[in-house]
Amino acid sequence: MTRLRFALLNAAHDDANTRRNFRREIDADLVEFSATDGHLPDHTRFDGVVVTGSRSSVYWDEAWIPALVDYVAEAADAGLPILGVCYGHQVLAEALGGRVAGMDGFEIGYNTVRHRGDDLFAGIDESFTVFTTHGDTVVELPPTATPLAENDHGLHAFRDGHCWGVQFHPEYDLQTAREVTEGKREKLGDARVDAVLADATPEAHDAACEAKSLFDNFTEYARRLKADREPSAAAGD
């Protein structure tokens, strides 16, 4: 079977953890583009698109951000399956007509999220554990989007056609969770960071691994979509 080919739009400012985590979790050939350097595809000839997390905010005045949002909108218009993770979830929301804003607080650590059911969450318990780290949130969904998951901090997933956004980080390993948390000392203070690190245990990570199934679910959806379209494309030749 031919492997799928996804564009990986890396917005993580050359963070090695991001590259390692997504390449480990996604069973497809990933063509990586450094979005923060303004490096984006000049076409949409992929089987899917994945947009990573970032330390940036989607509303910041940086030249690479509108270009990324515009490309994601173009890929969605072309009918590509898209998965946005954390910052990628927010980029996708903006690209499809939603709105992102800063939160009153900051959500970080292994937390519980509840989903409402969807292809993306097949095989994942309705209430599940994930690592979250974000100070922005989607405050207005795109006009045709459906909310899929939330917790007490707000929206954690939505779907719009072939596109999904998840606010949490299913790709994180324990090393990443701990390093990201350590990097928040100046922002959040030692007491809160130490508390999050105390809860960042192998047991918590093992519980969060259930959510990694969504990568397989997304890949399988992209595979089915490609298979459904190929007969139509062949008929048009």
Active-site residues, by number, are 86, 169, 171
Q: How far apart are CA 41 and CA 55, in angstroms?
A: 22
The two beta strands, 48-51 and 29-34, are unpaired
* Rounded (5°) CA angle 204-208-212: 155
The two beta strands, 127-140 and 99-115, are antiparallel
Map residue 129 onto helix, strand or coil. Answer: strand
**Cα–Cα distances in Å, from 222 out to 47, 156, 209?**
6, 21, 22
Is 11:39 a contact under the CB 8 Å cutoff? Answer: no
The CB density around residue 106, as the number of other CB atoms within 10 Å, is 16
